[in-house]
């Protein structure tokens, strides 16, 4: 009887052996936890489509931030739901905007916790799009064109106001052409040349954003975002988008969503030498939560495998609503 000379199972025979030869290790320092801040007082409302994720008013925010810091998570990503909205998203760039006020509080409480500010207009516009819109009617139905170049000025104002409030990283998610160059120029001219840009370089027009639209109250009031977010069928286009952002001065690149786009994450990792971010988005979170609540899956095992897969694909940083859970599980190892 012939026996195998090469036995791969030798390096799998115990927990200690598997730990010793593990190629990809997920670390708490890889994680960013998103937070939704809103107006009002005493608000801590669970988002129905995202179990375990809440809207926080400024007076209830500290409890959440305390927990994040205690778990060793190094950064938060802020999304704001304003009290008022208008056609140009004024609440996004005013000095006392909800994201700006939350940033000041967090940096006061924990100066070393990194605050990443999402730089977009969709939560702040009454039409729900990520830039200025020219609207018109056809047969009684409202249509609109998102105006690229006119939107850049507003996005730059938003980024500068966020930096003034103390944001450590500006994360523009609008997918307008030229947004990195416009924001980089605006930050530099305002004296914030030290503030890095984490660019949502490759953001697909994805069905996985559904729960976020509820959380951020940002669903478009007409049309969709397919004229500025990427077609999910395209991969080579992702290289063009990322290369443009690199040339315009991005400091980090992002792929969003993550789970269905592991190939794109790997492609960008192989082509560019900037830190790469994967956004484990709301739909990915909610699907796992829903299945876990039904008892169909082992949530902890699924999440750890999923996040490890994102890192194995090439992500250096993972934005995930599971950040607190993952950090707790790491402490238990």
Task: Take residue 235 and report the two structure tokens written for it.
Answer: 């991969």
Q: Map tokens 């739909």 to a residue.
A: 283
Q: Evaluate the omega torsion of the peptide bond into residue 257 and state whether it is cis, within 30 degrees of 0.
A: yes
Contact by Cβ (8 Å): 98, 105: no
120 is in an annotated binding site: yes
> Was 122 annotated as part of a binding site?
yes
Pairing of strands 75-81, 31-38: parallel
| Sign of the four-CA dihedral 272, 276, 282, 285 | positive
64 assigned ligand-binding residue:
no
Q: What does DSSP say about strands 133-138 and 141-146: parallel, antiparallel, or unpaired?
A: antiparallel
Say if residue 282 carries a ligand binding annotation.
Answer: yes
From 157, 203, 289, 311, active-site residue? 203
Token digits for 30?
């890889």
- Asked if residue 133 has a cis previous peptide bond (ω within 30° of 0), the answer is no
How far is it, in rounded angstroms, from Cα 113 to Cα 66?
10
Q: Has 256 been annotated as catalytic?
A: yes
- Residue 85 annotated to the active site: no
Which 8-state DSSP code applies to residue 231?
A: P
- Active-site pick, 256, 289, 311, 324: 256
241 is an annotated ligand-binding site residue = yes
DSSP H helices, the chain, are 15-21, 61-70, 98-109, 148-165, 179-189, 210-216, 236-248, 262-271, 282-293, 299-313, 323-332
Residue 123 and residue 173 in contact, taking contact as beta carbons nearer than 8 Å: no
Annotated binding site for Zn(2+): 120, 122, 130
Annotated binding site for Mg(2+): 241
Annotated binding site: 120, 122, 130, 213, 225, 241, 282, 321
Residues designated as active site? 203, 256
């Amino acid at each position: 009887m012939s026996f195998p000379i090469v036995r791969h199972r030798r390096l799998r025979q115990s927990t200690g052996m598997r730990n010793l030869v593990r190629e990809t290790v997920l670390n708490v320092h890889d994680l960013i936890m998103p937070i939704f801040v809103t107006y009002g007082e005493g608000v801590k409302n669970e988002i129905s489509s995202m179990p375990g994720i809440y809207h926080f008013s400024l007076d209830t925010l500290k409890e959440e931030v305390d927990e994040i810091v205690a778990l060793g998570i190094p950064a938060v990503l802020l999304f704001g739901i304003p009290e008022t909205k208008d056609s140009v998203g004024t609440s996004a760039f005013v000095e006392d905007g909800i994201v700006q006020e939350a940033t000041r509080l967090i940096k006061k409480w924990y100066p070393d916790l990194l605050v990443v500010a999402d730089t977009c207009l969709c939560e702040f516009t009454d039409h729900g799009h990520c830039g200025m819109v020219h609207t018109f009617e056809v047969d009684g139905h409202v249509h609109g064109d998102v105006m690229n170049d006119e939107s850049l000025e507003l996005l730059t104002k938003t980024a500068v106001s966020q930096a003034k409030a103390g944001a450590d990283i500006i994360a523009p998610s609008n997918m307008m052409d030229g947004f990195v160059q416009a924001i980089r120029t605006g930050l530099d001219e305002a004296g914030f040349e030290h503030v890095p840009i984490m660019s949502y370089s490759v953001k697909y027009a994805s069905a996985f954003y559904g729960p976020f639209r509820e959380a951020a109250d940002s669903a478009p009031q007409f049309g969709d975002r397919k004229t500025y977010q990427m077609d999910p069928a395209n991969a080579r286009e992702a290289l063009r988008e990322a290369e443009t952002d690199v040339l315009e001065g991005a400091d980090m690149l992002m792929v969003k969503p993550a789970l269905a786009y592991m190939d794109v994450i790997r492609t960008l990792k192989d082509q560019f030498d900037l830190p790469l971010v994967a956004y484990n988005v709301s739909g990915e979170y909610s699907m796992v939560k829903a299945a876990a609540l039904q008892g169909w899956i082992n949530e902890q095992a699924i999440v750890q495998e999923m996040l490890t897969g994102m890192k194995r694909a090439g992500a250096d940083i993972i934005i995930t609503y599971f950040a607190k859970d993952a950090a707790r599980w790491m402490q238990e190892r």
